Structure 1
Amino acid sequence: MLRLPALLALTLTLAVGSVTASSASAAPPSAFPQAEGGLRQAALADAALRDVVVVGNSVDGTVSFIDSRTYKNLGSIDVIPDLDDVLGAMDPFRRAAYEIVKQQAGGDKFVDDAHVSPDGRTLYVSRGNLGDAAAYDIASGRQLWRTAVAGLKADHATLSPDGKTFVISAITDSKAQTMDTATGRIAGEFPTGTYPHENMYSANGARIYNMSIGITSFLKAFNFLKGTKQVTVADAKTLKVVRKYTFDVGVRPAVITPDEKTMYAQLSYLNGFIEYDLVTGKTVRTVEMPFSAAAGAMNPDDYPQNSAHHGMAMNAAGDKLCMSGTIDDYTAVVSRPGLTTDGFVHYPQGSLPYWTVTSPDGKHCFVSLSNRDEVSVVDYATAKEVARVKVGDFPQRERVAKLAEGALGGLTR
């Protein structure tokens, strides 16, 4: 499909041609204006944006795009087309480290996080065990750049509101790094706690929040060896750390209210979540969720990456929370400010609900069921499942985005 500049150039050519043709052959005055209008409509259709949920299929090494209104899987894009080249270029030390990371991660995990540019045409991916980030032109599938992060593994990432900065956790190097999305060049970094995990921008884009989880391979009894578990707040422009909040255990997925006064967070080993006052730096409430029969019998050291609950989102109205009960195989919808449970969506044992994200319309929660290769769609208002979507192998992180209609042709269905 023609790009917008090409279409405009062609429109201009036709417009000039219409003057010449009118003089030479007395063509009907309406003939060329109709063609020009058709090209304009095609250009607008190509540039139109569709609300989607982006799903990183970690084991597949693909990213799926779900229409957030129809729940249709629009297709996917391969984000490890260069896998053999990357592995082949590793020296013996780096290859040995890759195998260790792979073992600790429970196998190949190629997509840790994925975001789409504001114009809906470029995909940015944190490539987990490969320890790098890469950008792709969605329409063609072409890799635009690839950049290795510090250390051995790339973790959670976020994209700045203007789409110019990709923030990614260099998990084994205790830092978050920023990349220029135009070139992939590392533009800056800031120190974090041990094993930095989630990154998120404040609602106004002025600050970056980073949550660290500590070294997950140590047993719970050796929590003191896991390192510093904290929330690090950095100025988004200068990357200067402006505040730290220290915790006894790792900070898992979290949501922060737009006024930046309250954080709801899941913690390592906690089958539930906390309400945390970001002004005073204190936990206000701890909410324990019910264990399933299978989860109640588990040893905490068997929790996946120390997580009992892993996945939290808030609806657009700010009065509902959606969280995945990872070891319990359910999604819970909780009302705030009372923090009372509205209901549960239960899944077959072993489904591993692992992440949640609120749809662009703010009314539904998309939950990745990693072991079922599915995404569950839950209605905030009713706490009921309204759809189930098949995706790729081990869907892990989900993000919301806008996809250019002109890029749809590049997806594999």
Structure 2
Amino acid sequence: MPARWMGARLLNGSVALATLAGALVATATAHADTAGLRSVVLVGNSQSGTVSFLDAQTFAVLGTFDVIPDLQQRLAEMDLIQQAGYAAVKQQEGGDRFVDDVALSPDGRTLYVSRGNLDDTAAFDLTSHQELWHTRLAGFHADHAALSPDGTRWVVSATTANEAQVLDTATGAVVGSFPTGTYPHQNDFTPDGKYIYNSSIGVIMFPQALEWMKGSFQLTKVDARTLNVVQTWSFPHGIRPNVLAADGTTFYAQQSYFNGFIKYDLNSSKITATVPMPFSPAGHALSPDDYPKNSAHHGLALSGDQSRLCDVGTIDDYTALVDTANLATVGRVDYPVGSLPYWAVSAGPANRYCFVSLSQADQVSVVDYASGQELARVPVGVFPQRERAAQLAGDALTALSR
């Protein structure tokens, strides 16, 4: 800024000076609030029991963290019934699935993990590598989870118990629960933290011919403060990955056995569009009962500007980008047969990228929403599954294993 320009403005009075000073203080405060935090994507490597940390802008692997250092202790803690449940879930999953969902605390230093067939959830201090607590859940499987925006509550689906349990992140104590549909799955807080949405998938062990026996396929809206159910919606099939648009009304969801997704209006409680996606030859050759956990497509995300959906074709080995205005496919990335793309999350500047886990390939694919092109394919741990966008503290970054 030229000195004569600034001098002329200051001569006009102290009001301008005060305004300028106030603006500088506000800017400095805002920068201080985010100082040292780095945008990352957490990748839960389900089978290896680790979490990979990817830089959300460069896609580089910044490091990994072991989330089952207490594995032998946890196995020893199980009684005979719990051991039987562990073995049954392991067989159903096709092996151990130690990491189901992950999140980072707002300060970027504490990692929360729901630990699949260990049927518990745990918290770790990233800087010291210490486990802060672990808590066993009801039933036999810890599923999808969500962290409240203020970082004080951690909601985990206790799948076989047909409820979601709410934990105090400071202590790991279960402070409440709420009823769900059959086999609760995904959990999401609204950005303001007022509500929790939980969706259920039904009993996935039954074949498609017995879908009527799978239970209730339900979306449940819960008051996050009281844990009272506010509203429920019933769906004709299990609700797989889903995303609620910024308008709070438009709900996109994949459903069990369906090769595509639906658009649903929460106000009218109606499906407003059903969008079938093309089968790949390998996907078309599969029987529905051979779909992984009843899912044809499993992975759904929205771009930051809400203009495009990232739809993951699990049995079809592709990621499709769909225009939300007309639901037309505008881009597609194909993967080698058997890659098993299995989850999607938006991250990067203005959520401009879609990160897709390729579970059988032990990789993450990064797709650009604007161009529809794959920008990178990043090696991670064994069987990457759930991914979450987060902010990582600088001292936590330096403590990661490399």
Q: Same fold (TM over 0.5)?
A: yes
Q: Equivalent residue for 1:7? A: none
Could you list the runs of 4 or more consecutive aligned residues of structure 1 that deviate by over 2 angstroms after TM superposition?
Answer: 44-47
2:390 counterpart of 1:411: no
1:141: how far off?
1.4
Matched residues in 1 for 2:190 and 2:327: separation? Answer: 23
Q: Equivalent residue for 2:16? A: none
Question: Among 204, 209, 217, which residue is 2:205 paired with?
Answer: 217
2:117 counterpart of 1:129: yes
Matched residues in 1 for 2:96 and 2:128: separation? Answer: 25
Question: Among 381, 389, 393, which residue is 1:400 paired with?
Answer: 389
Q: Equivalent residue for 1:380? A: 369
2:358 counterpart of 1:369: yes
Deviations 1:14-52 (A, max 9, x none): xxxxxxxxxxxxxxxxxxxxxxxxxxxxxx899610000
Question: Among 25, 30, 36, which residue is 1:48 paired with?
Answer: 36
Q: Equivalent residue for 2:181? A: 193
Matched residues in 1 for 2:40 and 2:153: separation? Answer: 21
Bigger CA drift: 86-95 or 306-315?
A: 86-95
Q: Equivalent residue for 1:390? A: 379
1:259: how far off?
2.2
1:66: how far off?
0.2
Q: Equivalent residue for 2:311? A: 323
Matched residues in 2 for 1:318 and 1:67: separation? Answer: 22
Q: Map 1:148-159 to 2 at 5 A.
A: 148-159=136-147
Q: Tell me if the contact between 2:149 and 2:191 (Cα under 8 Å) persists in the aligned partners.
A: no
1:412: how far off?
1.2
Q: Equivalent residue for 2:134? A: 146
Matched residues in 1 for 2:244 and 2:192: separation? Answer: 12
Q: Tell me if the contact between 2:362 and 2:379 (Cα under 8 Å) persists in the aligned partners.
A: yes
Matched residues in 2 for 1:405 and 1:291: separation? Answer: 44
Unaligned 5+ runs, structure 2: 1-31
2:90 counterpart of 1:102: yes
1:204: how far off?
2.4
What SS is found at the alignment partner of 1:350? coil
Q: Equivalent residue for 1:302? A: 290
Partner letter of residue 289 of structure 1? Answer: M
Question: Among 245, 251, 256, which residue is 1:268 paired with?
Answer: 256
Q: Tell me if the contact between 1:52 and 1:66 (Cα under 8 Å) persists in the aligned partners.
A: yes
Deviations 1:170-201 (A, max 9, x none): 00001011100011011111000000000001
Q: Equivalent residue for 2:105? A: 117
TM-score after normalising by structure 1? 0.88
Q: Equivalent residue for 1:21? A: none
Q: Tell me if the contact between 1:197 and 1:213 (Cα under 8 Å) persists in the aligned partners.
A: yes
Q: Equivalent residue for 1:257? A: 245
Matched residues in 2 for 1:53 and 1:197: separation? Answer: 21
Matched residues in 2 for 1:56 and 1:139: separation? Answer: 19
Q: Tell me if the contact between 1:310 and 1:355 (Cα under 8 Å) persists in the aligned partners.
A: yes
1:323: how far off?
1.4
What SS is found at the alignment partner of 1:222? helix
1:139: how far off?
1.4
What SS is found at the alignment partner of 1:294? helix
Matched residues in 2 for 1:377 and 1:227: separation? Answer: 36
Is the radius of gyration larger for structure 1 or structure 2? Answer: 1
Q: Tell me if the contact between 1:117 and 1:123 (Cα under 8 Å) persists in the aligned partners.
A: yes
Partner letter of residue 128 of structure 1? Answer: G
What SS is found at the alignment partner of 2:395? helix
What SS is found at the alignment partner of 1:108? coil
RMSD, aligned α-carbons: 1.2
What SS is found at the alignment partner of 2:305? coil
Deviations 1:73-109 (A, max 9, x none): 0111000000001101211221111100111111100
TM-score after normalising by structure 2? 0.91
1:158: how far off?
0.4
User: Aligned pairs, how many?
Assistant: 370
Q: Tell me if the contact between 1:128 and 1:155 (Cα under 8 Å) persists in the aligned partners.
A: yes
1:409: how far off?
2.4
Matched residues in 2 for 1:183 and 1:351: separation? Answer: 39
